[in-house]
Structure formats: structure tokens, C-alpha cells
Chain A
Amino acid sequence: MEQIPNLLQAPAHTLLPERFSNWFSGRGWTLREHQEKLLIEAAAGQSSLLIAPTGAGKTLAGFLPSLIDLSQRPKRKPGEPFRGVHTLYVSPLKALAVDIHRNLQMPVDEIGLKISLETRSGDTPVHKRQRQKLNPPDILLTTPEQLALLIASKEAGRFFAGLKYCIFDELHSLVTSKRGHLLALGLARLRSLQPEIQTIGLSATVADPQSLCRWLVPQITRNAKARLITVPGGVKPEIAILDSANRVPWSGHSARYAVSDIYRAILAHKTTLLFVNTRSQAELLFQELWRANDDNLPIALHHGSLDAGQRRRVEKAMEANSLRAVVATSTLDLGIDWGDVDLVIHVGAPKGASRLAQRIGRSNHRMDEPSKAILVPANRFEVLECRAALEASTAGAQDTPALLDGAIDVLAQHVLGTACAGPFHADELYGEITTAQPYSKLDRKTFDRVIEFVATGGYALKTYERYARIRKTSDGRWRISNPRVAQQYRLNVGTIIEAPMLNVRLTRQRGKGGNVRGGPVLGKIEETFLEALSPGDTFLFAGKVLRFEGIRENECYASSAPGVDAKVPYYAGGKFPLSTYLADTVRKMLAEPGRWQSLPPQVSGWLKLQQQFSALPARDELLVETFPRAERYYMVMYPFEGRLAHQTLGMLLTRRLERAGARPLGFVATDYALSVWALRDIGRMFRSGEYPLRELLDEDMLGDDLEAWLAESWLLKRTFRNCALIAGLIEKRHPGKEKTGRQMTVSADLIYDVLRSHEPDHILLQATRTDAAAGLLDVRRLAEMLSRIPDRIVHKDLNEISPLAVPVMLEIGKESVVGSANDALLEELVMEMDELVGSQ
């Protein structure tokens, strides 16, 4: 520690060997301040977190300490057979590792360093992976899943014997997920193998950088943190909200109205990156742009479901600056540096201020010039959200989510992986995993239960002892009971649970004999979507209109249907909930008519109309409207807490209304509002005092009602399934193995039902409830809202629908009513048939 002052006084060139400084000056560069700081910290043996906007030379900064160290490493002696990996680089995306490889190879070659650089991912051929194990590269670029596999192998100790640096790229995006938990455990393992390793985290700006600093170093002492190095943001981006002469629609997510404006913007720029929130929006926008593309501009599509080869082609074209625009989902979100993007267009709601800032950062990778971005709201509420995001950007506000405690299912996976690498002492492993930031608060009892779970399923009824996967041997160490366990582990590693997908193969239209011939694979699509299609239905995929022909084995056959309108819309819903910060800004905006002048006239006019017709809630108020419509009675409320929280609220309110005798029929939730409809006049029930609104919205709904609903909820079942897959209770489905069919496995739903009635406090059920409360249900946010509003509920009993209610009302019928009793559908069908029989 005492060395630091000296080092700070030392001129940078003593840190930068001559070869490096020559290279820098040869390129007309000087060592930037943050690069120098990072070198100083690294030289002092410190771990660091570098927070920098894109274009700041972040990647090079992260690798410099390692490159310098490698350049000074003595030559491999003759007879020295093996050197382990020196530097490990982990990124959330395979593509990012490939991209970094490319960008790093250049300085390595130009400086003339004898350093081997290799990537390793699920796509790496087996022979190369095996060779890597025998002869590891100096720098290995990989993903969290691959790291988990590497440390679970018997040779892990040897492989990482020379490890000095771990570089974690896009750390902000990794740490908020279960992948981050797996990675944190992997890092703790690496530290046990090599206690001296230094970590370097690279991150975009986040709300709480200190939590990331903790993540990077072992949590042994209170306040153990990596050094924080922050590069101030470059020039503020120029962000505008699209001012279209066309009418902004009430609802929907297509932004079709703005396509001509978007096209003109593309024409006026060199390369435009168009971001959307979902794959289906990407398909739709691409299709619309193609229609408007009178100049035959090279415009491409990029999303995660497309065939990998197709994606690589787009990336190459992008790199070569031969594209004018790319429509992309989050696959291009992260720090991939392609070509000279001079405009980012964000279509649809930004959902979070930090998220938007990161996406905008994709344009113009020079810090001294402003990035340029246009926000295109797809509906009127999104206009408000875009405005809020724009203001947040001006203020430099950050709303990245807080880090969660490490997930239990991930820990179970890691414990098994550790056993696969070799026998372990429970005490030692507990000591190790609690150095990982997400697990630093994990109590020993829970840890021991996780070990029990891994060994025999962790049931109170101990009948599986003889089948144990890991056993405690006489030396007190746990070891796997047979090699098959390690095989099973390898097949199930990772925390990303994907919906079952089928290949989409382009084929010729089906002949009379039902004959189809194979063609190229366009990508993958969710099985659940395909199940809803009938042959002949048309849908959008891979930038084409396709006609569904049928399913064979595990492939969907589809033929090209050019010039046809895609019949089946597909909207999976925004995956990202509206951030609390933006929601609050939107509420504020509604409450202050003085600020409406910054909104387009059609939107401010809409708000004025709402003010006259009903009311606009103050910032801390909740507006509830009731009105009759077509023999139904509606209740619309505007909590602005995001779709997930609203869905949960919708479920709970329908239960309560049911009990109060209001006979609710269904509900629909958006990011902004919730609409519930019933057979009885809800407004009158409130007014007459038969069922006061305050009682309906009482906080106690998060007690028994939530419990009761949760128990039956498909959301919880889905969460359980994910936990069970990650924890290794059930096995992942592997391509080509599905043929074994439903009867060969026990479905997660059945396991859930049995477990819930026989052992409700089983560790996996506990993990499921924790997960669901934080994720799918957003219970915390709902709880905050309910505690905020009791005295601030504004009820308007109206004669008809209000202007503000129109958007959510338009969603009815478009969105399926999630989770409502499926029996109702069966009932309806049976009744219809009875009527049919009766009328005959």
C-alpha cells in the first residue's frame, strides 16, 4: 500500500515500457489519464473498476497491465512444458469476445508482442477446446458459462496456474443477473486457485458503482473494494424526440406511423443504428423500412433468434461500413464497436435512463463529439416516457437496478461443479463462496441445505441417500459418486433458460402430396408461438413474410410469401420494466401542466382533454376511474409501476373484487395503467360504501391474498421450472433429445404441485418465491406503491371512458389475460356447443 504515493509521482513512462510508448506515439496517441491510473493501481497490486463512456479506450486500458506484464515475462525455458492462462477476459456475449479479440490483436501485432490470444465459447470446436486445455493461450477470451465449465474440470488447477489478471467487460450488465452470480462464484474459485489475481472491471455508468467495486474483490474485510476509476462523460449527446407530422397512435408498439420520418433520417446520415425492444418489433420495423426503401439502401436486421451465420454477415458488413442502417435488439446493445455509426434511433419506449444512455453510446465513438440520437415513441404514453428519459439524460441520472443477493439455484449448480473438479471440504467451500459479493451474507445453514440438496435433493424424507450424487467420504470431503454426475453437470451448466425453440427452415410451398423439401435455416423461433399457428398462416421472421407449412421433427417449415401482409402478429411484450426513476418523472410531468409545452401538441392536447374530462393525478396520487361500457363496468388505474407490478396487482384485485361480489371478468396491464372489468358496477360499489376503494387497495393484499394467488400462479410455476433447471433438479432439454418425449420426464409443474403440498419449505420453493417476488411479480415495487397511496387515491366515477384510459382499453383483446382461470375458456366452449346442440 505504501508504494502508491511513490508510484503516483513516477512519470507514466516508467509504467509504460518503451515498446508501448513508441506504439502510442507512433499512432499519435498519448496515454490517457484513466489508462495511466489503471496502470498505477495494477502495478500496486490493486484491483480496479473502470467506469467510462464508450470511445474512451476502455478495452485497451483494461488490457494494458496484462499486455505489459506479458511483454516482460521471461521467455519460456526449453523444457518448460506448460504455461497456464495468464489473463482471463469474460464478457456477456460471445460476439463481444470475438470483437475484442479482433481489436486487441492489432496492438499486439503492431507492438510486436509474442502473446497468444484465443476465444472459447459454446461455438468453439471440440478439438480446439481440447487443445486449449493442453496448451492454453496467454489471454483467453470467454463467457461466464465457459468459465464455469473450465473450473469444474479436474485440470482447472493446472489450467489457471499462472493466472494473474481477470478482466470483466460490461460488468454492469453481468452483475444484475444469475449469470453474474455464477460468475462471482467462479471468480471466488479462481481466487482459491490463485490468491494473487487482480481483477479489472469495465463498466458503463451505473447508479451504484461501489457495489461493483465490492463485487470485484474478495469480501473478507468490511469495505473491501476495488479502486474506482471514473472517466467523466464526453460531450452530452444530442437527443431529440421525433416530431412527426403524422398522428401518434393511442396504443401499440409498432411505430408504423413514423416509418417515413425514420427513413428520411437514415437517408440524411452515414450509418444509423435502430434499436427496438423486442424481436417482433425488429421484424416489423425492418419490414416497414424495406417497403419505404425506394433508394434501395443497404438495411439489415440483427436479433438473437437469427441464424448465427446471418448475424455474422451483418456484423461484417457493419464493420466494413457497407450498411446504411441496422435494425437491432439487445444483441447489439453492449460495447461492440462496429463501424461509423453517426445516428442512433431508439424506436419504442426507452424503459430506463441508463439503458437509453448505453444504447445511445453506440453512436459516434469519439468522446469529443456529441452522439446523436432520435427517440421514436410508438404511442402517446411513450411520448411522455421518451420525454422523461431525455430529461434524465440531460441531468445525467442513472437508474440501473440494484444488485440482488446470490441465487440459491445458482449456488447449487456451482457446488456440484466444484465437486466435479475434485473433492471439497464443506467448511472450505463455505469460506470461499462467502468471499463472492452476492453470497457474502449467506448463512451457513442455508449453505448446508444447498449441499444436502445437491447430494440427495434436500428432502425432509431421507429416502434417496443410497442414490446420492455427492457423498461425504471418510476424510470429511465431498466427492461425486460416479463420473456420470460430471457428464450430467456439463450438459446442464449455465443460468440462461431459453424457451424451447425450433429451427425455421425456408422451403418451397407444400405440394399436394404434402411433400416439402429442406432449405436454408433462417433462425429459431419459440415453440409456443408456432403452436398457435395453422398451416397457411403468415408471419414475419428474418425480415421476410413467411407462410407456415408445418412442423417436422424439431424444425418449422415455412415458405416465402412475398407481397402478403403477415397475418399473425406476435408481440411478446416489453421484456424490460419501466424503471422507477422514469415512472416517477412521468408522474411528475402529468402533474405539472406547465411542462406540457415540451410535448408535441397532440399529446399535450390529450392531457388537457383528460384534465377537463376527468383528472390528472398529482405526483404522489393514484387516479382510479370507473365507467360503464358495453354492458361491462370498468375500473382503470394509473400506478405507472411497470407491466409486471400491474399484472400482479391485477391478479390480486380480481381476487378481491370476486370476493366482494363484483364479478370481475378480466384485466389487462400495460407499463402505465391497469384496467379491470366486471359484470357489476364497481364505481357504484365504491361510491355507496358497499366496498370502499381504500379497502380494495389495502396493503394487506400482499399478505394472504398474495400467498394464495402465488400458490396457484403459473408465474410461480414458471419460476420454479427455471430454478429447478438451474439447480439441476430437472435436466435441460437438449436439441435432438426431445424425441424421448413428455412421458420420459417428470414435468416441473407436477413436481411443483407435489412439493408444495408435501414440503412447502423445501429450499427450492424458497428460492422460487424469492425469485418471483423480485422478478416476475415486482412485489417490492407494488408494496412501495401501496404504502405510498392510502390517503392519496383519487376516484373519478365517469359516464364513459376517459382520454387517458383509451390506450389501456385498446390493449384489451390484444393482450391475453394472463393467468386468469383457463377453466373459463373450457366453460365457454362447452356452453357454445350446448347452444349449438340446443338450436338444432
Chain B
Amino acid sequence: MTAAGWSGRRLRRRLARAALGALGGSVLAFLVVPVLSVIPMSFSSSMVFELVPTAPGLTQYRRFFASPEWMLALGRSVQVALGTTVVATALGTLAALGLVRVQSRWRSVLEAALISSRIVPSIVFAVAAYFVFSQVGLVGTVAGLVLAHSVLAFPFVVVLVSSALYGFDRSLEEASRSLGAGSIRTFFRITFPQIRLAVFGGALFAFNVSFDEVVVTLFISGVHSKTLPVKVWDAILYEITPILPAISTIIIVASILLLTPLLLYRRRS
């Protein structure tokens, strides 16, 4: 091969790599930049949207925290998300503990059943829940929202906790039991310490799923128990308010704070 041919080939390779990097980098930027662009907008004190606020300030945040209506929605969201966290984490952990004990081919069927609520389109579950809940007086109640959100959140707990359980040496449980500890004692002294982090991660996920849920909540929250996302939805459709970037930023930051421990945990394992 001649020197010129060799360097030509190298140049072509470099160009191809640069093109790939530029294209791949742009797609990654496309994923992350738009959503983050709302953060600078939230510091605007004017009535129109600005990428770089001319007079940056916390006006919109103050308006949000001073508004009884928005505070009511925020309170409702936190209430529902906490309830969902408890219900989904408890049920999801039980389901995961049961799931890993099933050894036959039934396990994959069971697993599919347990995570099926993530596959069904939310609008379908929304209409179904709305119809049934309205007959038993659950529409517009915190209990109704917690139950519906738990259906959507609990697969995350099942997946996280069951994968922690698969990686855990079951012979420790047998050893504990053969030494005379009962099932309950074995669970709290041996099993739970091993899956603690996964349960915690599942709880964070459950909170996040509930806190962000819109479609099902739109149907079953009723007029008087709107959560923060439903109130945001109404505001997007019916009024133009510069408060929305600030609220969006709060929602984004809340999710990132919830997810950070989870990402650190995933990296460790």
C-alpha cells in the first residue's frame, strides 16, 4: 500500500468517526437539552417566555408557593404519592418474594401477570378504572388514586426486588431456618437486609410514578382532588401562565432527586 493510500484511508476513518460522534452526540443532546431548557425559563419575571431571562428572579416560584390552589394540588400529589409508595412497595416486595419461590414454568407466566399493568396502554386502564371506581364511589378520593397508582407503580418494585433476590444466596435462609429461626425472623434478620436497597429503590420509583402520573389521574381525580400534574394539564390547556416553567422545574428536580440514589445503586451493583 502506498503512503498516500494509507493516509487517505486513515483520514476517511477519522472523518467517519467524527461524523458518527456528531450524529450520536446530537441525538443524545436532542434527548436531554429540550427538557432542561425549561429550567432557565423558570427564572423569568416577565409574562413571556425567555430563554435567557432579562430580569432573572424567583417571581414565578414565589407565585407558586403563595397560591393556595397550587399548594392544595401539590399537597394532594404528595399525599397520593406517599400512599402509593407504601402500598406498591409492600405488595411489590411480597410479590417478588413469592415469585422467586416459584420454580416451574409458571414463573414466567406469573411474572408477566405481575408486570402486565406496564404493558396495557394507560388510557385503557384509565377508562376501566374510571368506570368501575365511579360505581363504588372511589372517584375523586385519595384512596382511589392510591389504588390506581399502586397498580402502575408496583411492577417496578417487583422487578427491582426480584432481581435482587435472584442474586442472593438462598442457602442462607435455609441455614437460618435449620438453626431454629421462624419464617418471619428469617425474613427480617437474613432476607430483608440483603434486599433492603432494592426495596428502597422500588419505593423511590413508586413515588416518582405516582407523582408524575397524568392519564389515569385525569379520569379518576374528580373536580376537587386534582393532583399537581392534573392541575398543570388544565393550566396548559386553559390558561397561559408563566408559572408553568417554574412548576415544571420543581417536578423535574423532584424526579432527579428521587432517581439519583437509584442510579448510584445501579452503578454499584
- Do A and B belong to a common assembly? no
Q: Using a CB–CB distance below 8 Å, which chain B residues touch chain A?
A: none
Q: Using a CB–CB distance below 8 Å, which chain A residues touch chain B?
A: none
